[in-house]
């Protein structure tokens, strides 16, 4: 086991999750990410935590629930770290554990490279400040318009609250991704209209070789043109998986486009849209799937005010 990985894990557990000696730490992992999970478990033990690790079989897609014993253990832990191939972020298990007071970080698709470099090494107090600023803009706005390459997608967010994923989960019930740095919101179901070019990466597919053109009508994805189009539609299925679920803005200046959405969607200069479940962060869709697509250097308007030009956030 890499001692460097254990040291980085200790840093993450202390700085981002505030783990202290005597607290219960649960590491949830799967057959794909077991080695990383064990490093975090060893770091927890070294810090004096009452550490435990549970390994499950790899889920079939992001948003799929973990087995019941895992969900039960998450509920009973002070700090939970989920390092898995597919995301547990938008699951009832994560939501219920946070509601029970757990401080919880999800690391879907985390790679060794991502753990040692890039976004995980960000100045998190700085990321937190920008993330909270962008979250406040989203909460105050009613309408979003995204423009790129001559295409435009618009939707309503009125009455919905922005969610900060700051990378710092120090109080009971706080949860989000690690590495982190994004502000996101659930668009009002049925309001999205238009087209958007996704040219960064797609969860479960990876970095895109060619852009993907998505067409959305009445809040629902009706067409996906490009090499990754059919695989995306297959993952989302025929039902509510095709509903626009999320709009997010990346706020981490150390994050890189790696092909793993966990890091890609945090990149400063990108936004992302997701389809599927959003009932865990203010929406009404429970689809058992949640797939993000990353867009590089777009223009973004909130209530017709330009807040991002070619990926750069403007003075607010």
Full DSSP string of 51-79: EEEEEEPPPSSTTPPPPHHHHHHHHT-SE
Q: Are 17 and 171 in contact (CB under 8 A)?
A: no
Angle, CA of 228, 204 and 2, to the nearest 5°: 140
Task: DSSP letter for 315, please.
Answer: P
CB-count burial class (<10 Å; 0-12, 13-18, 19+) for 231: middle
What is the C-alpha to C-alpha distance for residues 148 and 154, in angstroms, rounded to an integer? Answer: 12
| Helices 68-75 + 92-99 axis angle, to 10 | 20
User: What's the pLDDT at 316?
Assistant: 64
Instruction: Find out whether 314 and 305 touch, Cβ atoms under 8 Å.
Output: no
CB distance 294 to 109 below 8 Å: no
Residue 154 C-beta-side C-alpha neighbours within 13 Å: 9
* pLDDT score of 279: 95
Tens-binned pLDDT, residue by residue, of the chain (316 aa):
789 999 999 999 999 999 999 999 999 999 999 999 999 999 999 999 999 999 999 999 999 999 999 999 999 999 999 999 999 998 999 999 999 999 999 999 999 988 888 888 888 889 999 999 999 999 999 999 999 999 999 999 999 999 999 999 999 999 999 999 999 999 999 999 999 999 999 999 999 999 999 999 999 999 999 999 999 999 999 999 999 999 999 999 999 999 999 999 999 999 999 999 999 999 999 999 999 999 999 999 999 999 999 999 997 6
3-state SS, residue 245: strand
Residues 6+ positions from 310 with CB-CB distance below 8 Å: 297, 298, 299
Q: What is the pLDDT of residue 102?
A: 98
> For residues 49 and 47, what is the distance between their CA atoms, to the nearest angstrom?
6
Place of tokens 């005597």: 22
Element spanning 286, H or E: none
249 exposure class (CB count in 10 Å sphere: 0-12, 13-18, 19+): buried
Token pair listed for 182: 């994004």
Quote the pLDDT of residue 122: 87
Residue located via tokens 């486009």? 257
Of 192, 163, 161, nearest to 90 by C-alpha is 163
Q: What are phi and psi of 179, to 5 degrees?
A: -60, 160
Write down all domains in the chain, each with its CATH number in brackets. Answer: 3-116 (3.40.1830.10), 120-313 (no CATH)
Exposure of 123 in the CB half-sphere (CA atoms within 13 A) = 4
pTM (2 decimals)?
Answer: 0.85
DSSP state at residue 98: H
Task: With beta carbons less than 8 A apart as the criterion, state whether 100 and 146 touch.
Answer: no
**Separation CA 49–CA 55 (nearest Å):** 19
């Amino acid at each position: 086991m890499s001692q460097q990985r254990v040291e980085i894990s200790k840093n993450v557990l202390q700085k981002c999750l505030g783990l202290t000696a005597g607290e219960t730490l649960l590491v949830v992992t799967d057959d794909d990410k077991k080695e990383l999970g064990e490093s975090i478990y060893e770091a927890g033990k070294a810090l004096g935590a009452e550490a435990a690790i549970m390994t499950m079989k790899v889920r079939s897609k992001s948003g799929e629930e973990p087995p019941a014993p895992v969900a039960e253990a998450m509920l009973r832990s002070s700090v939970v770290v989920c390092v898995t191939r597919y995301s547990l972020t938008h699951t009832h298990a994560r939501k219920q554990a946070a509601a029970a007071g757990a401080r919880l970080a999800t690391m879907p698709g985390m790679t060794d490279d991502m753990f040692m470099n890039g976004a995980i090494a960000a100045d998190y107090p700085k990321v937190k400040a920008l993330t909270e600023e962008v979250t406040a803009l989203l909460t105050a706005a009613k309408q979003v318009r995204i423009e790129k390459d001559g295409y435009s997608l618009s939707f309503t967010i009125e009455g919905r609250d922005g969610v900060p994923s700051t990378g710092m989960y120090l109080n009971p019930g706080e949860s989000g991704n690690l590495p982190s740095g994004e502000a996101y919101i659930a668009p009002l179901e049925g309001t999205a209209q238009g087209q958007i070019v996704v040219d960064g990466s797609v969860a479960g597919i990876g970095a895109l070789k060619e852009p993907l053109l998505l067409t959305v009508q009445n809040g629902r994805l009706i067409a996906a043109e490009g090499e990754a189009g059919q695989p995306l539609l297959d993952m989302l299925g025929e039902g509510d998986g095709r509903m626009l679920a999320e709009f997010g803005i990346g706020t981490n200046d150390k994050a890189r486009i790696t092909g793993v959405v966990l890091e890609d969607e945090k990149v400063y200069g990108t936004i992302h849209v997701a389809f599927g479940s959003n009932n865990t962060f203010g929406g009404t869709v429970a689809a058992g799937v949640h797939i993000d697509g990353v867009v590089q250097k777009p223009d973004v308007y909130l209530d017709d005010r330009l807040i991002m030009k070619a990926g750069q956030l403007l003075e607010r």
